[in-house]
Amino acid sequence: MDSVAIDYDSENVLKKLGQNEILDYVSEAIQEHYLNKKIKYMPVEIQDAYKIKKILKTCQLENEVVLTNKSSVKLLGNTTDVGEEGYCYSLITGKNNNVCLVPNCDTELVLGVSNFNIKSRIKNVSVYLQRWGSVLDFVDLSDCIEDGEKIYIVKKISKIGQEGYIYRLYRNVAHTEEILKRKERLIRELNNKVIDYNFDEWIVVSEINKEDLYNEEKASEVLHDFVQDFLRYALTVDSIVKKY
């Protein structure tokens, strides 16, 4: 039989409850435990990854993506085909068609899709952010997982050096203590869900409702949320790295 862990805060709550209330409280905890165990994550379906890629290429922002009080994205620039089934475009601030700049830096941002990993289960679905020819960060849609209702775009935060991990976050780190410190800082500052899947930890960069993915009326919303979440993730990693 599985054991159900009771954390410190829960223990303090139990001390204040009567006998019947304790039984109800523990019963709810057990039910939640087994409900969570029933969640089954699966690799994203190939057609879903390509649908996300298509939305990123063919849709346009209807609402502004706000980065900071001084920086935002209002439009996506003209698409340029790059390599085999790849493409890229500049992020535009709106007025006078100015390119979007990294906060506190005079560097333009470009979003694109390419094939960064020839070993990927799904080809040509690596979504990246670029500044002056250098990749700031990327997510591989073939690493996405789903639970039947949502698709989770993720990055690995365990097992440094393996496919899917955040190379930039751990660059030039020599000690395990420093690795854990950066990992914990990312989880804290990004404040996104962490999923245990396939014996690894994955931090969620963005979530997409599966029913929205094939709803044409929701396409612009899916695009907006992905661009906003991806920029927030990449710039959070960038800010952490610059502090070391």
pLDDT tens, position by position, 133-152: 788 889 999 999 999 899 99
Q: Per residue in 193-235, pLDDT tens?
A: 999 998 889 999 999 999 999 999 999 999 999 999 999 998 8
Q: Per residue in 15-31, pLDDT tens?
A: 555 555 555 555 555 55
Core vs surface per residue 115-138: b (16+ CB within 10 A) or e:
bbbeebebbbbbbbbbbeeebbbb
Which pLDDT score, from 0 to 100, does residue 222 have? 97
pTM for the full predicted model: 0.78
Q: Where are the beta strands (DSSP E) in the chain?
A: 42-43, 65-68, 71-73, 75-76, 80-82, 86-92, 110-114, 126-131, 134-140, 145-146, 150-156, 194-197, 200-209
Q: Per residue in 35-63, pLDDT tens?
A: 445 568 999 999 999 999 999 999 999 99
Tokens 């906003």 sit on residue:
228
The rounded distance, in Å, linking the Cα atoms of 8 and 224 is 39
Sign of CA dihedral 225, 230, 231, 236: positive
Which pLDDT score, from 0 to 100, does residue 136 have? 84
Q: What percent of the chain has pLDDT over 70?
A: 70
Which pLDDT score, from 0 to 100, does residue 231 have? 92
Q: Residue 165: CB partners within 8 Å, gap ≥ 6? A: 155, 156, 157, 158, 159
Phi/psi of residue 138, nearest 5 degrees: -155, 160
Of the candidates 213, 239, 217, 215, the one whose C-alpha atom is nearest the C-alpha of residue 226 is: 213
Q: Identify any residues that bridge with 209 across adjacent strands, giving them in sequence order.
A: 150
Number of helices (H) and strands (E) in the chain: give both, helices first: 7, 13
Give 7: exposed, middle or buried? Use CB within 10 Å, 0-12, 13-18, 19+: exposed
pLDDT of residue 181 exceeding 90, the answer is no
Count, residues in the chain: 244
